[in-house]
Amino acid sequence: MIFDSRSGKIKTKITGSKWFERKEDIKQMRLPQIINSLLETDMYKFSMGQTIFHQFTSYKTTWTFKCRNKDVHFTDEMVEEIKEQVQAFCQLRFTEEELEYLDNITWIKGTYVDFLRLWQPRYEEFTITTDAPCGLAIDAAGTWLNTSMYEIPVLAIVNEVYFRMAYDYDVLLKQFKRRLDEKVRLLEEDTYRLSDFSEFGLRRRLSAEAQEMAVKAIAEVELPADSHFIGTSNVYLAKKFNLKPVGTMAHEWIMCTGQGNHKHNPAYSNWYALDAWVKEYGILNGIALTDTITTDCFLRDFQLTYATLFSGVRHDSGDPYEWGDKMIAHYNSLGINPRTKTLLFSDSLDFERATALYDYFKDKAKVAFGIGTFISNDTDEEALNIVMKTTKCNGMDVAKISDVAGKGMCKNPDYVDYLNRCIDYRMKNDK
């Protein structure tokens, strides 16, 4: 992608093709382009994307942005910049070098890589307005195959636009560097015990610059025996720094596979999700997310076959100690040694909380951590708590219930009531 100073247009090249002009005028974009590669997304978008491509190509979804911060407001200027940045993102294409990188990942299949060679984001599928209490409303609607790929880059754009335009970015970056240097010093001094940990902060990072700085710094630290930096969920940075791209499934996977088919009882969402995953990957990519419609309901479907095939489970809401003890008890009830399974914690972690969890569970199971905002957006200012979730699939409402109040999301309270009643009925009657 280049800027043609004579025409004032962005020109983009599709591999093996000619340059073409983007219609929008770059002069309207006030900030540097935020997303510069289609690899700049979380790894689970490719693991889910491949399975969507092979099994759910006809599914259509609607995604909705939500800002959970009560005191945050996006100005009209911010919203216009977000529009411009999303338009620039929609001009990107995968390069052959990027496709070759994906093709060399063990579980990615050539058919999916060929699809990605043709794939492009579509700005026509976005609706971005100021019609929301926080001043920013974003919806995206289209095939699940397309719209799933929008979530992470859009959130990264929103986050960086906000912090660059609402604050003095240079001051924030200095704060970020100071805190990052302190993290690195404490890591080197063996203050923390982080087991296998990864960086998960793309969607809420301060900026692309800050996230790259943090990943590079931590990757270069000589860590003590009880801490191992595995990699990052940001596929672009994993490629750049020769790290492992980390990620398996997100809540959308369980929501859409389990609630998007009108014939399914949504209380069995986890079974449909686990079944489709095993059909695609067998024993690969084996970390299951438990809390989409509550962990207690998940465990009804996570019986001997799936508990054996999946290498572990991921925590994303509720008390992590109660959750971990519950998972260990479940493995024991099935005759599975929990020490052979991974408990991956990823909910609002910092190094201190992760160390405490490691100390508690280290002799009971394998322990791993996905640490996001604490690594990628740690400044003197409060980070944004923003999400973009599926709210419809195939014309039906879908919902995330979660294990704690406040993390669920659905536009239709009647559907949430229906889903809860389905779950309650199953829990009482399906032993």
**Domain layout of the chain by residue ranges:** 1-29, 169-376
What pLDDT, on the 0 to 100 scale, is given for residue 18? 36
Separation CA 302–CA 287 (nearest Å): 12
Q: Quick check: 25 and 8 in contact, CB under 8 A?
A: yes
According to the model, what pLDDT value does residue 431 have?
65
- List of residues 6+ apart from 212 with CB closer than 8 A: 237, 240
Measured CA to CA, the distance from residue 39 to residue 235 in angstroms comes to 5
- The alpha carbon of residue 377 and the mean position of all alpha carbons in its chain are separated, in whole angstroms, by 15
Task: Give me the pLDDT at residue 8, please.
Answer: 44
Query: What's residue 361's pLDDT?
Result: 98
Tell me what pLDDT residue 28 has. Answer: 81
Please identify which residue in the block is written with the tokens 């994906």: 102
Half-sphere exposure of 14 (CA within 13 A, CB side): 12
Query: With a cut of 50, which residues of the chain have pLDDT below it?
Result: 1-9, 11-27
Ordered strands of the 342-345 beta sheet: 244-245, 227-232, 195-199, 366-371, 342-345, 312-315, 287-289
Q: Could you write out the DSSP letters of every residue in 143-212?
A: EHHHHTTTHHHHHHHHHHHHHHHHS-HHHHHHHHHHHHHHHHHHHHTT----EEEEE--GGG-S-HHHHH
Residue pair 146/122 in contact by the 8 Å Cβ criterion? yes
- DSSP state at residue 234: B
Q: In what order do the strands lie in the sheet with 2-4?
A: 2-4, 9-13, 19-25
Q: What is the pLDDT of residue 25?
A: 47
10 Å Cβ neighbour count for 352? Answer: 12
Residue 420: per-residue pLDDT: 95
CATH homologous superfamily for the domain 169-376: nicotinate phosphoribosyltransferase (3.20.140.10)
Q: How far is CA 393 from CA 219, 253, 268, in A?
A: 39, 11, 16
If 0-12 CB within 10 Å is exposed, 13-18 middle and 19+ buried, where does residue 307 land? Answer: buried
- β-pair partners for 196: 228, 368
Please tell me the pTM assigned to this model.
0.92
Residue 134 tokens, joined:
């926080």
Please state the φ and ψ torsions of residue 287, each to the nearest 5 degrees. -115, 115
Residue 266 CA to residue 420 CA, distance in Å, equals 9
- At residue 229, what are phi and psi to the nearest 5 degrees? -80, 110
